[in-house]
Structure 1
Amino acid sequence: MNKKRKVFTILFISIFLFVSIIPTIFASTDYKIIRARITMSPASPKTVNLSLSGAYYLAENPDLILDEGDYTLSVVDTNKVKIKGKNIDVTVGSQVNFIRQKHSGTGSHHLTLKGTVHGTVNYLGNMRFHVSSGSLVVTNHVPLEQYLYGVVAYEMSNAFPIEALKVQAVSARSYAIRSFSTTRDFDIGDTASTQVYRGYNPNFKNVIKAVDDTKGQVVTYNGRIIATYYSASNGGQTELPGNTWGGGTTKNNAYPYLAQKDDPYDTANPSSLYQEVFVPKTVDGTKYIATESNVDGDFVVRIVGVTTAANIRSGPGTNFSIVGTAPLNSIYKWISTTSEKDSAGFFWHRINFTGNEADTAYIREDLGQKIENGRFVYSNPILTDIQSQVFAKIKSSRNIKNATDIKINSVNTFANGKERWPGTGSRSYVTANAGVTVQFYAAGASSLSSKINENIAIELMKTNSNGSYLMSHPYLNSNLRLRGVKAAKDSGGLDGYVITNARYGHGVGMSQRGAQQMARAGKTYREILSFYFDKTELKTLETTVPELPSRGDGTDATQPAPTISSSKHKLQSNSVTGIAEKTSVSAFLGNFSVNNGSVSLVAADKKAKTSGNVGTGDVLYLKDGSGKVVKSYSVVIYGDVNGDGEINVFDIAAIRRDILGAVKIQGTYRSAADVTRDSNVDIFDVSAIRRHILGTSKINQ
């Protein structure tokens, strides 16, 4: 047997021997503070305006007195921050940190930022400004529990029942903690792409109570914090993650707690967005029968894509004044269409809105559908759609000139067609199948044909050039995405069918409207969380809000600020990498150059570490001249997953247990397990460690 094959055999045997005895790996991350990146508008500002209420000091210059009031921060000399205001005009380095300190007053105590994507916002915690590519980047270092005050209030509402707000608080806390990063200088954003965060408002008493009453609580599955996905409404059925985000069964198996189930609470909530579009079974002799258009011209514009009515503008753009509103499905003479799209990417139709073609009136193309004028123009959008599909099918064989030469007598059958995710149980359909009876005028004919039956399909979701499904639709609400067909009656009792359209958001995990309705029905937050996240339990972490410092705490004003650098290792915002395995503590500490201070190393349990090897999970402390810790860096050695400072089969076993879902790797250790740096822990990382052990390809630290 060749030598390498022998090594492989030993590796595999070792893996299976050790996989059952490898210890559970827990993160050493402190969850008390989260770093929220603040989105400014416009993006990448060179100047930021803020206002201080209460006591603050600068970490970079604790002796500088910051009076309450307005300040302007700006980038000068390419990479320095200038602070001006309240008798201060100073230039500091490439970053400045406003530290919220103990305050003896009784008034407001916050920092107000102007020009965020959410407008003018008040923030608790500390605020970091640093220069990147010539612009100011803003990050709020805020206690996790106080951060949640600014999330729950805007992901739900202070008016929601308290038990629903508790559900949101626990879900948002779990989501936030899973976002903690040791490789970035921030943990989470402040928009809907992560979680909406809008600072602090003391008037949201219910929100504050919900957060405080669930302090530290997170949702766990098999002992690990789960991905607590949530959206506004699921439309009556929770969706599988493998459907919504791709990945199919593999993705679903990775999230066993995100099960597919009916959610009657979501649909019972009158605030859940829901749309039904009716089409009659019998058209002849009912109010749905087509009449010849009384509008002249070859083309007309029918109002679509709105719930009730569309605004008509005096010019081709939303910046023009509104001259009136046009009801859904109303018809107007088409005059022309703009030759160029507006700034939002739309063409505009000019229509005869007032009866006088000299008057200018415009409707945007997605709200006004240009169609051929003709004998049979239906106000019902589904009948118009059916008419178009029948025309496309039989126009050549029956010699029909226009779609409007076809009369629909009845819709005999109307049912769900193609499933969006076949075989998964999802009630999301992309087509509906119709069996119809029609008559038509052949080209040049003066009388209607005899009745014929045709089977056609209409699109509930359209596709782009790549075959991806789109939410935009001529007559269905484009904000909703769970579409299907069922039998129904109209308000007058006429038999027919409706296209149903629901689900505002991705539908995975918790429905905020469903949670609201469950709370109204008397369910507790624990019951609600258990409903949306299968077989999970709550765990309480230590997230106590740290006591505010006095001026200079952590950075002694009598001591110059320490600086640290290394030519061998890579210092990130909160981590240090570039460390070879089996590096001794003494060699590691000797690789740093420190001015005005010193460094020391502690293990994951926070006990001093003075001998042995450096390992993942250790923490490097930077201290000032008085010995106070002013900065800490978590050690990450890629491939050293269990923190023993070596890369071996124990680390492979740990990753395999993570992949199998037995014991999940978290925090700093998960960063070390992501050897390929692709933000995933998978078999590719196992392969990289194997190659490292065999010596065929060393891991780049």
Structure 2
Amino acid sequence: MIRVRRTLLCLAASALLLGSPLLHDHAQAAAANTGSKMSGQAAADKAKVTAGETIRAALFANLGNKSPGHTQQVTLTSPETITVQARTAQNGLALGISQARYSMDQYQIKVIETKDKATAQAVLKKVQASDSARLIHIPRRGATFYAVYAGYYNTENEASQALKRYEGDASIQASLQGARSTIAGPHYLQAGTYNSLAEAKTTLQLLLDASFDANVVIIQSSGKTTAAVWVGQASSQAALDKVQATVGQALPAVNVRPVQATGALVQSLEDTGSGTISHYRVYGNEKWGIEPAKDSTIKVTERSQRTYRGLMEVSVHNKELALVNELPLEQYLVSVVGGEVYSSWPAETLKAQAVAARTFALYQNGKFEIANVVDTTLSQAYYGTEKEHSNIKSAVEATAGEVLTQNGKLIEAIFNSNAGGKTADPSEVWGGSYGYFQVVDSPDDVIQEGKKNWYYVALPSGALGYVREDVVTKEASRNKAGLQIAYPKENGTNIRPIPAIQSNVNPVAQADKGTGLIVLNTVPESTEYAWMRGPYTAQEVTNMIKSSTKTAFSGTVQKLAVTSRGPSGRVTKMEVNGVPIQVSYPDSFRSVFGGLPSTLFEVVSSSNYTVAGASGKSTDKNGISGGTAVDGKSSSPQNLKDGAIAINGKGEAKAINSQPTYFFKGKGYGHGVGLSQWGAKGLADKGYDYQKILKYYYKNVELIKR
């Protein structure tokens, strides 16, 4: 529904506005585990990385529900020339270039090869309308030919189906001008090995000039990274046999044989539109290290143009392209801590985060198949060099090698952005318990410093929303109902759906000077400490519950209630229309209701209110049907209408409606388990050092240096 989409945009915009140092938690990572919702000590026992060693962070990889991302290609760029090395070899091979592209060596469709670049570009454009495609430069007989290759296909059958589509496309066929498209597959013959790429090009040119499809490749041979020439690019072994016979007839001096490597980088020259780039297709199961010059960096175009230290490893894992960044652990931590908290925060907060991040990273070993960690919040936020800062570097260096242990073993030093004033027990988040997490008061409200209050207001039109206190003037006097009236200072003042400015979300209304806004309530600005999400209609909430849980209930939501809370007050059970909502663990309520920041919330409905009777007893009401009230203008009871304002005994007001809308009003950002980052800042502001901060959030732990 449109409203739901808009609400999700609200969430994203709000998070962006808040400028959070974290904006994530490890809930997904914990939820991915089986049995207990945490990975258990088994993962810690596997930890092999120690301070001073390297760590492997997966940027792209097929790791099931732990995948950091998927891509068909990666483009790596360094300020200086790069070296490639088979990870099983003893040496590297200088490529003499500073940029290259990598993809899997899969089945493709060779749509056309022609000397007419304009024809090739026209075909490329048509193919790219429905498929991935690239333009490859091929030097033959003193001229440059241009070949259009389409698709990445896992099997010959998939490629055959794609070929049929192209053969049936009249527009593409007209552009081919009679040329015949063929399947290009990952089947090759080897035509010698060479000490350098330059030496290999002589044999390559013989094959290209004889109209064969051939490439220079980088392979591992006898423990060395070296060059070879492969010919064929055939769709099957039968087709490759024909290539071998043809090569023998046309070029008897070129000795071809089965390939002599289990892995290779197959080189071609791709047209970028503004130049060319070396494109290497990853063949087989070898892993390849792409390393810049000493102390230089590598930029990954497909990873938001981020730049990284260390080397990049490209490989094929679980039938997909994988990219792993390998670098010294302490360098990794400088980026991670910079991505987790503000560099301007107190030094003791930064040190506490450095120790927690180091401990957590070491604990993760063995969890991500080909890497120690991933670069997403399934592990820790890792953005490469863009988050590095001298303050962070100092904090990491000051705590070098320090980790948290219990009974001599690493703890899973989970942390969160903002605990909402009280940290969580794992039992109320994922189920189960750990000996080093505790429920403690957390000074997370430090984030509210300098923030404005907002008024929840009712407009004359009946619209409801929030307006910031500094853009209106509130009268000191009250109306007959005892409520204050506020007037906008400027025409076109925005009335917001939640108490925060969201650049991607339209206001619910605008009000001009002179428009009286009835102030129903005063709330803090929505931040990671205190937040609000909504409003949602009953149908929207119904759709949320039915689309994300197996809860069976009839009709739409009439009553949504929290029925149980954990030790810290977080929601552990809920009911809809009296039926328990089925979730696998309590923290799942966050995703059920559109991605709530935490489970430390209450549900506020516009149709629920309490009526005080003459006998002193109160009655809970849902909806306004049949209800009457005195409206302040007449002593006679009037039928309740949508937008009627109800005031409780505390003077708190709310607008009630026949059709309920729901708000989620809560505190905290993240699961709340372990160290709270905003709380750690609050403790540092009070004079705590990093050791006291860590032992405040993690109980019965030791801080040791590995």
Q: TM-score range by the shorter chain?
A: 0.3 to 0.5
Which has more strand, going by share of residues?
A: 2
Kindly indicate which of the two structures has a greater share of residues assigned to helix: 2
TM-score, scaled to structure 1: 0.45
